[in-house]
Amino acid sequence: MIRHALPAVLLLAAPLAQAEPPTLDKVLAAAHAAIDACAAKEQQVAVTILGPDGTAKVLLAADGASPRGVASSGNKALTALTFQAPTSQLGEQVKTDSALAEKIAANTNYNVRAGGLPLAVGAVGVGGAHGSEKDEECAKVAAELLSRP
C-alpha cells in the first residue's frame, strides 16, 4: 500500500537545473579563439554567439572577413540553436528527411553548411572560411572554451 505518493503533475512541474549563460568576457574570449584558430588556417571569418533565447551575445568579424561570412555566421548559429544540432549534421539530414528539408527551406535565415554548433546555453556560428568544414573546426574551438566551467 502506498501512503505518500506525489502526483505525477508535481514531479513534472519541478524546475530543471539550467546552465548559467557565459559571461560577456568568456563569450568574447571564445569568439577571439575561433577567429584566431581560423586565422592560423589563413581564413578570415566571422563568429556569432547567441544566447539561449537567440539574442546575439557577440558578433566579431576578423579583418578581411566578407559580408557574406558575417551573415553566414549568424545564420549558422540561429540554425544550430533552433534545431539543437550541428549544421553539418542537419546538412546531411536534409538529403533524406523531406520534412526537415521543408522546415529549413521555409526560413531563408537557416543555413545548413558546416560551422554552426549548439551549446549548453545558446549556439555558435562561424562563417567565411573557404570550405565550411574549416568554419566548423573553428566553431569547435569556441564551443570547447565555452563548455569549460
Mean pLDDT by 10 residues, the chain (149 residues): 40 52 94 98 98 95 98 98 98 97 97 97 97 97 95
Would you state the pLDDT for residue 12? 43
pTM of the model: 0.86
**Which stretches of 44-149 are assigned E, i.e. beta strand?**
46-50, 56-61, 116-119, 122-127
Residues 37/8, Cβ–Cβ less than 8 Å: no
Output the nine-digit C-alpha cell for 52. Answer: 539561449
pLDDT of residue 80: 98
Predicted local distance difference test score (pLDDT) of residue 28: 97
The pLDDT assigned to 4 comes to 41
The separation between CA 79 and the C-alpha centre of its own chain, rounded to angstroms, equals: 7
In this prediction, residue 82 carries a pLDDT of 97
Residue 54 is classified by DSSP as S
Pick the CATH number of 22-147 from 3.40.50.720, 3.30.70.360, 3.30.450.150, 3.40.50.300: 3.30.450.150
The Cα-based distances of 148 to 21, 83, 145 in angstroms read 12, 23, 6
Could you give the C-alpha distances from 39 to 14, 35, 80, 141, 142, in angstroms and in order? 46, 6, 23, 12, 14
pLDDT of residue 21: 83
Smallest CA-to-CA distance from 37 within 27, 51, 50, 47 is with 47
